[in-house]
Structure 1
Amino acid sequence: MAVSSSTTTTLSSKTPILGQKLYVIIAATLLILTTILLIIFLCIRRHFISKRRRSVHVALKQPSPSPSPDPIVLGANKQQPQIIVKSNESAGGGSTATSASVGSGEGNNNNGDMGWGRWYGIKELEIATSNFAVENVIGEGGYGVVYRGVVRDGSVVAVKNLLNNKGQAEKEFKVEVEAIGKVRHKNLVGLMGFCADGAKRLLVYEYVDNGNLEQWLHGEVGPISPLTWEIRMKIAIGTAKGLAYLHEGLEPKVVHRDVKSSNILLDRKFNAKVSDFGLAKLLGSEKSYVTTRVMGTFGYVSPDYASTGMLNECSDVYSFGVLLMEIVTGRSPVDYSKAPGEMNLVDWFKGMVASRRGEELLDPKISVQPPPRSLKRVLLVCLRCIDMDANKRPKMGQIVHMLEAEDFPFRTEPRPPRDTTTLHLGSDAASKVPSVN
């Protein structure tokens, strides 16, 4: 009892702190400590929740599926293998989001709109594709399978299910969203949303229902191609506009890195839509190039990029030049069924022009020949795009102008050609090179 009375007396005694009793000071101290611990706990919890949301937000190429008789949305040719020339990867590539004024994703559900398009649940995509049924496969390749699906609002979509090969799915997932997550352009395939469920990574695109350019150029279309010269130029111009937007209309700019015929999708009116951004790289305005591992499709990769690993938009321009040759000639960039001197499209093309046989380059399946001046202009654009000096290649915006202008202004004063092949484009084109400066 004596001890208890002493303790009570001590706790009741006044302290120098504002004259308060000891038990009041102890109670206040405990309250303050409890409050501080609670605040720390809430901050840590909020940090982890935010970090988790960001990881899902960011964790948002597409394989190169082989040609299919059905329209495919993200296709490639297995006979044109993906190549890795050298390993020289370094940091770089710019920011992880575009700052251009572009549309945000549409749609919403219980999971919310993450800003990159709609967040689809795995169950919803399973229902849309009939549980990823084989009959709904519209394309496949080394990195994933593409399915046709119908979502709840009745929209037809293309669902790309990325294969998780040593983390490749995560890389593909992030690159696609970083490159075109918020981009909306009539000549680019739109990314409508995504699904991240455990290890599964799926991307949902608008469905383009008329196949790809490779199928129309090299498929079984009969002795006369449905792709007239006018349609081919429409496809070429649309593709050029899509690439020009990536290069010149966004910040940071986007270098596609895999421009080829199987990645040019076509709608029912033969409007071109550039697809498959799984190999794309972002390049900030302060950078002239990014050093990276060399990747692309054999026959389309520019020699300067293949030899140095230094990537910029000039690499896409070279690939577009090869694609334009493919559109004009109807030939694949590399065709081992041809004679030795004709296997490589670029070398054969240059040789034919140098031999003054430019008219013979035209795809024999084109029934109505284009005007000679129009053909010469397109052949010249091809040669400008594949210039061995990357700095002399035109910008994609200039290429659009060159292809669109029926009466493209030629220089009035003669000047020595930069490439001997230019000499044989015709008497007027030999000494009068289009000004794109």
Structure 2
Amino acid sequence: MAGVVVLASLLIGYVQGKKRKNEDDEEYELADGEDDENGGGEGKLILFQGGENLTLEDVLNATGQVMEKTSYGTVYKAKLADGGTIVLRLLRDGSCKDRNSCLPVIKQLGRVRHENLIPLRAFYQGKRGEKLLIYDYLPNRNLFDLLHETRVGKPVLNWAKRHKIALGIARGLAHLHTSLETPITHGNVRSKNVLVDDFFVARLTEFGLDKLMIPNVADEIVALSKAEGCKAPELQRMKKCNSRTDVYAFGILLLEILLGKKPGKARSGSYLDLPSLVKEAVLEETTMEVFDVEVLKGIRSPMEDGLVQALKLAMGCCAPVASVRPTMDEVVKQLEENRPRNRSALYSPTETRSEIGTPF
């Protein structure tokens, strides 16, 4: 009798688990247009959480305005007929793997939800093979502009604000690396791929897109990372990208946040290696001079406010040997343990997080 009870319990658990899996599958493939493989049609639309109200007609009739062109393709700000706004990322023609290879990656990306990551709301494949990734539109500036723009009225980025931004980026990467059933490497960590809102909440874009690209196109991202000073020394091909190469790129990004300097090749042709700049300052005992002047405003003790620890952490992330770099979970822990003292309301319960966009 006890055996029968155990078998019945196992059977019930199996059926419920299978039912949950089917429900999950339905949740993430909520609506399809007519598939071009079935002859004619306008293409296929796959919806994910937060994009349930989108229709194929909405996407096809949206009026787009070019926001930027990246190695992956062209990004458009698109107006919907109902007045809403979305972001369309049109992947480069001929740059993507075939549909059967793309769909598992797309569905995996569509399931990722974290406050420091821009969520994928839908995916469209047209009858001629064109591929669109559909995201929320967030009217925020990217971190590169916040750090390096010289316009009047730009917000002052003191250490408390920069720390919050850095911690948000680290949390987003840690989630990709360790909190998913199948880990995701970002593959293109840089300040231009970080959006920052009015509460200084950072959100990463472009994560995992290299998995959609054919190898030679994906390798273009590696070449770009080298030019921008973000490439880990051991990374030669994108297929070798892993969590440790992401950590290296984060280290360069953290140095960019602390020093306020653009890494990599400048228009003049000169090359700025941020880790070398810090090493030189340490040897010459001028470490405090490498920090951006805005970072030091209001700081009484760089050690007590976690500034020196953040610099050491960034250099640890940029270690030439991959195995000695910390994990992103360790980076998050160190940043949390060394918060700046004078952080005002930045980390209050009501302002620590802001909503991740507005579902359509």
TM superposition score normalised by structure 2: 0.70
How far apart are residue 175 of structure 1 and its match? 7.9
| Superposition map of 1:300-311 within 5 A | 300-306=230-236, 310-311=240-241
What residue identity is the alignment partner of 1:181? Answer: G
Stretch of structure 1 that moved more, 254-263 or 136-145: 136-145
DSSP 3-state at the match of 1:359 = helix
> What's the counterpart of residue 181 of structure 1?
110
Match of 1:386 among 289, 314, 318: 318
- CA distances 1:75-130 after superposition (whole Å, capped 9, x unpaired): xxxxxxxxxxxxxxxxxxxxxxxxxx9995597577798564558655422432x2
Distance 2:141 2:100 in 1: 26
Aligned to 2:186: 256
What is the deviation of 1:404? Answer: 1.3
| Counterpart Cα distance in 1 of 2:100 and 2:259 | 36
Q: Which residue of 2 aligns with 1:83?
A: none
Picking from 190, 203, 206, the partner of 2:119 is 190
Q: 1:338 to 1:114 in 2, by over 3 A?
A: closer
**2:293 is the alignment partner of 1:361:** no
Cα deviations across residues 247-278 of structure 1 (Å, max 9, x unaligned)? Answer: 11012111111100001112222211111025
Query: Which residue does the alignment assign to 2:136?
Result: 206
Q: Which residue of 2 aligns with 1:13?
A: none
> In 2 relative to 1, CA 202–149 (structure 1 residues): closer, same or farther, beyond 3 Å?
same
**Contact 1:212-1:263 within 8 A present in 2 as well:** yes
- More deviation in 223-232 or 254-263? 223-232
**Comparing 235-244 and 119-128, the one that deviates more:** 119-128
| Higher mean C-alpha displacement, 201-210 vs 351-360 | 351-360
Q: 232, 237, 251: which is aligned to 1:321?
A: 251
1:156 to 80, 85, 88: 85
Whole-Å Cα distance in 1 between the matches of residues 265 and 103 of structure 2?
34
For the 8 Å contact 1:260–1:300, the answer to whether it is kept is: yes
What is the RMSD computed on CA atoms of the aligned residues? 3.6
When residues 398 and 278 of structure 1 are mapped into structure 2, their CA distance, relative to the original with a 3 A threshold, is closer
**Offset from partner CA, 1:367-404 (integer Å, 9 cap, x none):** 71433112111111011111122111111111111111
Q: How far apart are 1:364 and its partner, in Å?
A: 2.7
**Are the counterparts in 2 of residues 246 and 255 from structure 1 also a CA contact under 8 Å?**
yes
Matched, 1:244 2:174: yes
CA shift in 2, pair 1:369/1:339, >3 Å = farther
Alpha-carbon offset, residue 171 of structure 1 = 9.9
Residue 358 of structure 1 deviates from its aligned partner by: 1.6
Give yes or no for contact 2:88–2:132 (8 Å, CA) kept in 1: yes
- Distance (whole Å) between structure 1 residues aligned to residue 102 and residue 157 of structure 2: 34
Residues 222-371 of structure 1 mapped to structure 2, 5 A cutoff: 222=152, 226-280=156-210, 295-296=221-222, 297-298=225-226, 299-306=229-236, 310-336=240-266, 343-366=272-295, 368-370=297-299, 371=301
Task: Report the alpha carbon displacement of residue 331 of structure 1 after superposing the two structures with TM.
Answer: 0.8
Q: 1:127 aligns with which of 61, 64, 68?
A: 61
Distance (Å, rounded) in 1 between the aligned partners of 2:26 and 2:287: 43
Q: Is residue 327 of structure 2 the alignment partner of residue 395 of structure 1?
A: yes
Inter-CA distance 116–122: structure 2 relative to 1 (3 Å threshold): closer
Cα distance between partner residues in 2 of 1:394 and 1:337: 33
| Cα gap change, 1:220 to 1:407, in 2 (>3 Å) | closer
Q: Please name the residue that 1:433 is paired with.
A: none
Counterparts of 2:32 and 2:199 in 1: how far apart (Å)?
33
- Could you tell me whether the CA contact under 8 Å between 1:228 and 1:368 is conserved in 2? yes
Distance 1:248 1:169 in 2: 28
Q: Tell me the SS of whatever aligns to 1:216.
A: helix
Paired-residue identity, %: 29
Describe the shift of the 1:137–1:355 C-alpha distance in structure 2 as closer, same or farther (beyond 3 A).
Answer: same
Q: Which has the larger radius of gyration?
A: 1
Aligned residues: 294
Counterpart amino acid of 2:61? I
2:185–2:207 CA contact under 8 A, matched in 1: no
> Who is 2:149 aligned against?
219
Q: Deviations over 1:261-307 (max 9, x none)?
A: 0011122222111110254459xxxxxxxxx9684312111112238
Counterpart mapping for 1:98-137 below 5 A: 104-105=27-28, 108=31, 114=46, 116=48, 118=51, 123-128=57-62, 130=63, 132=64, 136-137=65-66
- Aligned to 2:184, what secondary structure does the other structure show? strand
Deviations 1:117-158 (A, max 9, x none): 558655422432x2x3xxx22222344222222446654311
